[in-house]
Amino acid sequence: MLFFELIRIALGRQETLSHTPSNEEWQELYETAKNQTLLGVLYDGLCRLSAEQKPPRQMLINWHASVQKIICDNKRLNHDTIWVSQRWEKLGYRNVILKGQGNALLYPDPMLRVPGDIDIWLDGDRRKIANYVRSHFPKLEVTRIEMEFPVRKDTPIEIHFLPSFLYDPFKNRKMQRYFREQLKSSKQVELPDEGTINIPNDEMNLVFQLSHIYRHLFYEGIGLRQLMDYYYLSQILTTSKGEELKAKVLPVVRELGLMDFCKALMWVLGEVFYMPEEQMLTQPDEKRGRFLLSEVMRAGNFGHADDRVGNWSEMSRWERLTWGTRWSWHLIGQYPREVFWHPYYRISQYIWRFFNGYL
């Protein structure tokens, strides 16, 4: 597939395309890169192509213009990430930035990763945090997991009370215990030209981002940008502390019931990105991996390209429950335990919000 070849060229794992794309093929490559939010990273691949294989001049100009906007967006996100982190610190809340601009630092050029929103995990009493935010924005929805914090005009910000979650209440309890333990050892990194933020330590990041990708398989959909994030994150497994990290992470992955998904993800990363086996957490599973890859290519980033996904924001609570249950059912053959617990999770969410006055 030409699109995968272009990814490998951008990553330095392939030198040329198997053939020179036609104008129609280049248009398809551009649209796929846009749907998968990889325009910036793949532009780096275009620059490595020979003159004969480069896209038409006008497309190259349009692609370059998109990259310039991505760079400007990253500058804004870096500034806003520092701002929101410092604001909550001044209010007395230790915080950790999840994914986002912390992930961008994993890339050879952090400014080419297409940025999204800011996810900030706050260490503190959920009700106090929610009451503070709702004192400024009274109608905001609150869940046990997160709520919005719409204080920046052009930058979506989400407050996380929990980094990620599982529908299975027994596995989820173990997950939250693990995350709370890891919060004590978050690490500090510096954003380009802005300042420092806290992000999860390497061990937690490998578990958290695996669970985050898994979560999106059940809700909204997975994009290749999320998988590319994990590709770059996994490069730490090839360093001197790689084996030590594997020894810590794999028992957690197994205990949380994520091993089958981890094997599927490793196959996709090997197939699409040519990720070497020494960079993988575990042995890949081709059968599960092919299913996962088909979901990724159909859904696009956050399911925006998936015609099976409805408009979640316009659904009633009952429609969300019924649609979400039907949606997760197509995963019953892959991850039956999570599918089984999905209706329980939705209903328990509703009950929790009702008794806490968040409906």
Kindly state the average pLDDT of the residues 284-309. Answer: 76
HSE of 315 in the Cβ direction (CA atoms, 13 Å)?
Answer: 12
pLDDT of residue 305: 46
Going by pLDDT thresholds of 50, 70 and 90, the confidence category of residue 301 is very low
| 306 compared with 141, residue with greater pLDDT | 141
pLDDT score of 312 more than 90: no
pLDDT digits (tens, 9 = 90+) for 141-158: 999 999 999 999 889 999
Q: Does residue 209 carry a pLDDT above 90?
A: yes
H/E/C letters for each residue in the chain?
Answer: CHHHHHHHHHCCCCCCCCCCCCHHHHHHHHHHHHHCCCHHHHHHHHHHCCHHHCCCHHHHHHHHHHHHHHHHHHHHHHHHHHHHHHHHHHCCCEEEEECHHHHHCCCCCHHHCCCCCEEEEEECCHHHHHHHHHHHCCCCCECCCEEECCCCCCCCEEEECCCCCCCCHHHHHHHHHHHHHHHCCCEEEEECCCEEEEECCHHHHHHHHHHHHHHHHHCCCCCHHHHHHHHHHHHHHHCCCHHHHHHHHHHHHHHCCCHHHHHHHHHHHHHHHCCCHHHCCCCCCHHHHHHHHHHHHHHCHHHCCCCCCCCHHHCCHHHHHHHHHHHHHCCCCCCHHHHHHHHHHHHHHHHHHHHCCCC
195 and 205 fall within a common domain: no
Q: Number of folded domains in the chain?
A: 4
Residue 193 has a pLDDT of 80
Within a domain: 72:
no
Q: Provide the residue range defining the domain that includes 178.
A: 79-199
Together in a domain, 281 and 216: yes
pLDDT at 308 over 60: no
Q: What is the pLDDT of residue 309?
A: 56
**Exposure on the CB side of residue 307, measured as CA atoms within 13 A:** 0
What pLDDT is attached to residue 343?
87
Q: Are residues 194 and 205 in the same domain?
A: no
Of the candidates 240, 215, 231, the residue with the CA atom closest to the CA atom of residue 145:
215
With vertex at residue 55, the alpha carbon angle to CA 52 and CA 60, rounded to the nearest 5 degrees, is 130
Same domain for 163 and 209? no
Which token pair is 185? 């050892």
Residues 158 and 253 in one domain: no
**307: confidence class by pLDDT, cuts 50, 70, 90:** low
Pick the more confident residue, 251 or 223.
Answer: 251
Predicted TM-score of the model (pTM): 0.92
pLDDT band for position 298 (cuts 50, 70, 90): confident
Is 250 part of a structural domain of the chain?
yes
CB 245 within 8 A of CB 280: no
- Looking at the fold, whether 226 and 336 belong to one and the same domain comes out as no
215/126 same-domain check: no
pLDDT confidence of residue 320: 65
138 part of a folded domain: yes
- pLDDT, one tens digit per residue, over 88-117 is 999 999 999 999 999 999 999 999 999 999
Residue 316 clears pLDDT 80, i.e. is over it: no
- The reply to whether 293 and 340 lie within a common domain is no
Q: Encoding tokens for residue 319? A: 């429609």
- Check whether residue 234 and residue 171 sit in a common domain: no
Q: Share the mean pLDDT of the chain.
A: 91
The C-alpha atoms of residue 48 and residue 58 are separated, in whole angstroms, by 18
Asked which of 199, 230, 248 is the last residue of a domain, the reply is 199
- The last residue of one of the domains, among 167, 199, 231, is 199
pLDDT of residue 321: 63
Task: State yes or no: pLDDT of 275 exceeds 80.
Answer: yes
CB 166 within 8 A of CB 256: yes
Q: Is the pLDDT of residue 200 over 80?
A: yes
Quick one: pLDDT at residue 303? 46
pLDDT band at 350 (very low <50, low <70, confident <90, very high): confident
Confidence class for position 299, pLDDT limits 50, 70, 90: low
145 and 181 share a domain?
Answer: yes
Is 74 domain-assigned?
no
Residue written as token pair 């329980």: 344
Residue 221 and residue 191 share a domain: no
Q: Provide the pLDDT confidence category of residue 300 given band limits of 50, 70 and 90.
A: low
pLDDT at residue 28 in the model: 94
Q: Is 268 inside any structural domain?
A: yes
Lowest mean pLDDT among 16-30, 178-192, 289-303: 289-303
Residue 178 tokens read as: 């693990």
Q: Is residue 186 part of a domain?
A: yes
How many whole angstroms separate alpha carbon 160 and alpha carbon 148?
9
Please say if the pLDDT value at position 262 is more than 60: yes
CATH label of the domain that carries residue 173: 3.30.460
Length of the chain: 359
- The percent of residues above 90 in pLDDT, for the chain, comes to 82
The residue among 199, 226, 249 that closes a domain is: 199
Side chain identity at residue 194, one-letter code: E
Strands 118-123 and 94-98 turn out to be antiparallel
347 domain-assigned: yes
* Domain contains 42: yes
Residues 173 and 88 in one domain: yes
pLDDT at 32 over 90: yes
